[in-house]
Structure formats: C-alpha cells, structure tokens
Amino acid sequence: MLSIFREYDIRGIFEKELSENVVKKIGFYLGEIIKKYGDYVAIGYDARVHSPILFKWLTSGFNAAEVKVLNMGMVPTPVNYFSNYSEFNIQDKKITPNASIMITGSHNPPEYNGFKITIDKKPFFGKDIYQLGEKVISSNLDIKDNENYFNIDAKEKYISYMVENFSHLKGFDKKIVADCGNGVAGIVVEPIFKELGFDYKGLYCNPDGTFPNHHPDPSVEKNLKDIKEALKEADIGFAYDGDADRIAVLTKKYNIKGDILAIIFAKSMKNPVVVGEVKCSQVMYDEINKIGKAIMYKTGHSNLKVKMKEVGADLAAEVSGHIFFADRYFGYDDAIYATLRVIELIKNGVDLDKEIDSLPKVYSTPEIKINTTDEKKFEIIKKLKEELKNPPNDFPKIKDIIDIDGVRVIFDDGWALVRASNTTPVLVTRFEAKDKEKAEFYQKKILEILDKIGY
C-alpha cells in the first residue's frame, strides 16, 4: 500500500488501493497537519467516475480531524490551486482556504485516481507524503461517515479572474481549436473563450471520466490526431491533459513543447529568470541566458514550484507542458492561463513558427522509457555515475556531468539524460545533439553501459 504515496502526490487504483478505509485516514492525518495553519480545506475533483466517492470519504476524514471542508465540485487542477488565493463567504465570514486537495488521476488510465495536495500555498510532497503514508498504513483508526461540507464557487471566481485580466484579448481574430479530451478543461475554457468573444472550435469539451474519444495526455502524439485534423481549418490549437495543468500548443507546422514555449514567453519579459527541468533542451538554457537567467532543476511540478519561490523566478517549464507563471500570476502550473498568454503573444504580433524557425537546429528524442523496478531504479543511477568515472575507450568525450536529478551527461555536440522516474518503475532517458545520427550515437553508448549494469 505504501506505493500509492509518491514523490509529488498520492495515486492508485480506486477501491483496490484507494479504499474507503485508507482514504478516510488520509483525510484525517492530513487534517492534523492542516490544523496547524487553520480550519479550512478546499476540495475539488476531476471528471473520473469515482472522484465524487473519494470526495465523500476524504470529507469524513477531515471532519473527524475537525477541519471544515469547502466543496468546489468538479474543477480543473488550476482552479483548485486558485482557491488558495481566493476569499469565500462561509457562515458570514470571509475565508481563504488554508489548504486544498485536488482529487485527480491526471492522465492515468480511468481506473486510477489520486490527490494533489497544497498546504499554506505550498506543495505537500516528498518526505512529507512518505511520512503521511507510514502513519496511514500503521493506523487502526475507524472513521465514521460524516459528509458535512460548505459549497464554494471557485470555478466562477477563476473564470471572472481570467476574463478580467485578459479583457484586452477581445477582438482576437484568429481561429482557435481546443481539445479538452473529455477531461475537465472544457468547463472553464469554453466560458472564458465565449466571454472574450473568441472564434473557436471545441473538441471533446464535455467531461467524461471514461475518456471515450482518446486518452487525455497531449504529450502522446497519437492523442493529437483529431486536433491536427481540426487545425486544417484553424490558426492555433491547444490540447489539455485530464486535469488541465498541462498544455500542448500546436500550429500547422509545429507541436511546441514546454521548453520551447518557455523561450518564446521569456522573450516577452524583461531580464527573465526561468527554471527548467533536466529534460529541457540545451537550446532553452542557451537562448534564455542571452536575455536573462536560466536555472536547471529537478523534474516534477512540486520541485519546480519550490525552486521558483527560492530564486524569485518569473517562469518555469517542463517539456511535457507544465508551464508555471509567477510573472503576473501565482507561480503554479495552469494550462488555461498559459493558453491565454500564448493568445496574448499572437495578438501582440508574435509569429510562433518564425520564433521556432529562428532557434538553433538540434535533434531531440522524445522521452524514451526503460522498464525496471522501483527497488532497482535509483541503484542503477548510482552505478551509472560510477561507470561514467571511467567510461569505455570508445565512449564519447564527457565535458561535464550534471547530477541534480539523475545523470545528464554533456558531450561536445549534445547531451544524454538518464533519470529514475519518481512516479513509475522506469528509467527516463532523453538525447539531444546537433543531428539525429549523433543523438542516436549517444543513445547507443549510454544504453551499452545500462545493459552492462543490468536493469
């Protein structure tokens, strides 16, 4: 059972792992922590069919801990984060939640669900989640049903905020297509687009936790087939994952990854400070360092949020489409907000295709995943570091090794990355070089060492 308590969140299969008893205890012990900051937790959930059931179980746990539950109903994850910065009228008092829980399985298969946790406006992750897991698993508490809560309308507050802050986009004359993948993005994307008067076509904007049309993961190319077809009749496309904290931006020419988006956003800022993950292209770091400062850090939305605050960054990005704005916003990953910032750039005359055409040309592989076990994955990374101290004679010349998150090996003409996933039993690899042949050569040489280590 401890495997559901992961680096960035809690995630598992409904009923089999996220059972009533376990979820109630998660609510209770989280309540004990939240009480140090105040009495209120805001809870929202995604489109999965079992999310409302998890809400009831979690609410019983919080009530047992004497923490009051604010129910925002079905919302995207960014709306859940937004609630931490909003005031609500509860029993004739103005209340800002002391914490929020998002019930979501994100882009996992339909039988999965989980919890993304924010306490005192900070992500609750890493050792805190692991310690929570140990308490829950060792506890014999029997928590009674108590589903009392107060309703709040965080969704309408969020929509109003976006419409007000992007009212200057009214009159945008390009045609938009938005693929919500039957996740929850549509319940805010459509009202915002309508209020701003956009000419748009929505694909699969009705929430349906069975995901009947395609899986809601825009980082997987096959899931973009329908939006690419619709783009033939539009100018710009946006696709979202199941809980709308990740975005794919598509033109007729490009599927723009998060690290390349970060370059384009940074160019519109004065002296930008940008945090990127270890999987980001070297092009991103080099281009942003010409106009500001780029900082490489660990993969993971929680890690990047913490690092952004630490260094006072304006922006952070993951290749997968998590985009975090502290510039004019609150510093969390929000695919809907990122959508409006892209539209703003285009309205201001930025040509996305030309911006990408002007960048140095490199060949980057997608993420290549190697199956292993949770027990072995971090040990393999340790052994790889040792092997690279004395690599084989035919191994390419190593200029530097960055070990902030796994191993990023810098070569004369590119780099190779091997890191242990914090959420699944896999090694994640990525390779980049001045051309495809060189990237494949780096890949071949790294895989030879991994084969020798064994995985």
> How far does the chain reach from its first CA to its final CA, in angstroms?
24
d(CA 387, CA 401): 12
Element (H, E) at 54: helix 51-64
Chain centroid, CA 204 distance in Å: 21
Choose the catalytic residue: 11, 107, 408, 430: 11
Is residue 11 part of the annotated active site? The answer reads yes
Tokens representing residue 114 in the block = 């989980």
**Residue partners of 171: CB distance under 8 A and separation at least 6:** 197
In sign, the C-alpha dihedral spanning 287, 288, 292, 298 is negative
> Looking at beta carbons, which pairs linking 438-445 to residues 24 or more positions away fall under 8 Å?
438/363, 438/413, 438/414, 439/363, 439/364, 439/365, 439/414, 441/396, 442/396, 442/409, 442/411, 442/414, 442/415, 442/416, 443/365, 443/368, 443/416, 445/392, 445/394, 445/395, 445/396, 445/416
Q: Where are the alpha helices (DSSP H) in 292-363?
A: 301-311, 335-347, 352-357
Residue pair 212/201 in contact by the 8 Å Cβ criterion: no
d(CA 299, CA 408): 12
Token pair 């809690």 is found at: 10
Is residue 214 part of the annotated active site? The answer reads no
Residue pair 417/279 in contact by the 8 Å Cβ criterion: yes
Is residue 19 part of the annotated active site? The answer reads no
Choose the catalytic residue: 83, 86, 106, 302: 106
Choose the catalytic residue: 48, 322, 341, 419: 322
Read off the DSSP letter of residue 84: G
Q: Which residues are catalytic, by number?
A: 11, 106, 322
